[in-house]
């Protein structure tokens, strides 16, 4: 990118104790289920009591996370709002379909249908923030968040915005969790999220959900601590050799060598079908390696949680023990961070960050 892009702030709702923008928790929450659910935010002070009654959980989470992001940035209003989602508003979709079946397609209430569309969340955030600028939602499976991020970078590159909000949201309802269980998305045995990698010889992982928003700007400000240097989306590489070649081209494009990466933030999720890819990438870099999906669970836009965690690590120059897979001695300070995510073996993304 010709124009530098800085992360000014973030807001998050997730299964961990991070919902008041205090950064990475001192200790992660341990779950004994294969289905991690978000800790629901206190909407008082963020959404009026009258409006909150008509909102589904995912809309509440999105508005709270967006307002947390806005408050931390000190920016009055973003010029644009861009979201990525793999599932959209599943709870409202299920409500409408259930009502349609039970009422035999008669006398249906339109609220659930209106709120079930994928762009509902971005629209509701815009209404809450009184933002009348560019508003878009990307639905692109495991590339949904990365697509929204690239769109935001392009707007900043073309000077069509000065400050914009980019994020993602996904929810995993119990019924959809059961549906995906039938096609081996999740572990068949119940495991603790803290022991996810101890069960990496079986298929599947643990389900998660979350909502994260970032404020981006091409101007370095007092609160700027992370620069987004580059993003790459790799669709269905032929094999690990092909993937390695594409990673090499990505690093070369950014004038970096393997040993200049101070931290690799990995999306490894305990699914044995993806172990070969993750192992190949881990072995490539002789550096610090952290992971995050035992905290968030896995879902279409889980890489946004990984980006949030990487930003917190850069901000504090500290990797919590519960995230650390490998510690490289002799590395003083964290500057260049590479976020690597692999969704179902087909949607692979690289996000390069730099401390500033």
- Which pLDDT does position 333 carry in this prediction? 85
CB 347 within 8 A of CB 142: yes
The helix/strand/coil state of 266 is: strand
328 φ, ψ to 5°?
A: -100, 115
Q: In sequence order, what are the beta bridge partners of 353?
A: 228, 337
Residue 76 has a pLDDT of 92
* Cβ atoms of residues 59 and 89 within 8 Å: yes
pTM of the model: 0.95
Helix, strand or coil, per DSSP, at residue 204: coil
pLDDT of residue 53: 86
Which residue intervals of the chain are DSSP H helices?
Answer: 49-52, 57-73, 90-102, 111-114, 120-129, 144-157, 174-181, 240-253, 275-284, 293-296, 303-316
SS3 46: coil
- What are the tokens at 207? 């389900």
Query: Which of 273, 269, 279 has its CA nearest to residue 207?
Result: 269
> Residue with structure tokens 């070369």?
252
Please report the pLDDT score of residue 126 as a whole number: 96
Pairwise CA distance, residues 354 & 200, whole Å: 31
The per-residue pLDDT for 114 is: 77
Question: Tens-of-pLDDT digits for all 356 residues of the chain?
Answer: 678 999 999 999 999 986 566 789 989 999 999 999 999 999 998 999 988 888 889 999 999 999 999 999 999 999 999 999 998 888 888 888 888 888 888 877 777 777 778 889 999 999 999 999 999 999 999 999 999 999 999 999 999 999 999 999 999 999 999 999 999 999 999 999 999 999 999 999 999 999 999 999 999 988 888 999 999 999 999 999 999 999 999 999 999 999 999 999 999 999 999 999 999 999 999 999 999 999 999 999 999 999 999 999 999 999 999 999 999 887 778 999 999 999 999 999 999 999 98
Distances from the Cα of 149 to the Cα of 54, 165, 227, angstroms: 29, 9, 13
Provide the pLDDT for residue 316: 93
For the beta sheet containing 226-235, the strands, ordered from the edge strand earlier in sequence to the opposite edge, are: 134-138, 80-84, 163-170, 210-217, 5-13, 226-235, 347-355, 336-343, 263-266, 288-291, 324-326
């Amino acid at each position: 990118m010709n124009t530098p892009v800085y992360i000014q702030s973030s807001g998050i709702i997730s299964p961990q104790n991070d919902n008041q923008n205090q950064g990475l928790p001192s200790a992660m929450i341990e779950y004994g289920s294969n289905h991690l659910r978000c800790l629901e935010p206190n909407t008082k002070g963020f959404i009026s009591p009258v409006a909150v009654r008509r909102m589904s959980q995912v809309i509440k989470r999105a508005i709270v996370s967006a307002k947390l992001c806005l408050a931390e940035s000190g920016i009055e209003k973003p010029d644009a709002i861009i979201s990525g989602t793999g599932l959209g508003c599943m709870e409202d979709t299920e409500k409408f379909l259930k009502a349609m079946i039970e009422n035999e397609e008669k006398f249906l209430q339109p609220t659930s249908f209106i709120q079930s569309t994928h762009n509902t969340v971005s629209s509701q955030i815009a209404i809450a923030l009184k933002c009348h600028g560019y508003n878009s939602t990307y639905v692109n499976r495991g590339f949904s968040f990365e697509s929204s991020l690239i769109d935001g970078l392009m707007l900043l590159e073309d000077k069509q915005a000065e400050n914009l909000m980019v994020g993602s949201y996904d929810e995993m309802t119990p019924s959809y969790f059961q549906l995906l269980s039938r096609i081996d998305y999740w572990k068949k045995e119940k495991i603790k999220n803290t022991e996810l990698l101890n069960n990496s010889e079986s298929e599947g992982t643990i389900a998660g959900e979350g909502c994260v928003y970032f404020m981006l700007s091409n101007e370095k400000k007092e609160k700027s601590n992370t620069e987004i240097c580059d993003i790459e989306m790799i669709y269905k590489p032929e094999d690990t050799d092909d993937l390695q070649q594409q990673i090499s081209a990505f690093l070369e494009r950014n004038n970096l060598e393997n040993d200049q990466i101070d931290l690799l933030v990995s999306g490894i999720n305990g699914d044995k079908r993806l172990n070969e890819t993750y192992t190949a990438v881990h072995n490539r870099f002789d550096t610090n390696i952290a992971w995050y999906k035992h905290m968030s669970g896995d879902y279409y836009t889980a890489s946004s949680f990984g980006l949030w965690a990487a930003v917190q690590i850069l901000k504090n120059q500290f990797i919590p023990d519960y995230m650390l897979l490998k510690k490289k001695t002799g590395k003083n300070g964290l500057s260049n961070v590479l976020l690597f995510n692999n969704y179902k073996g087909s949607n692979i993304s690289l996000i390069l960050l730099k401390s500033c």
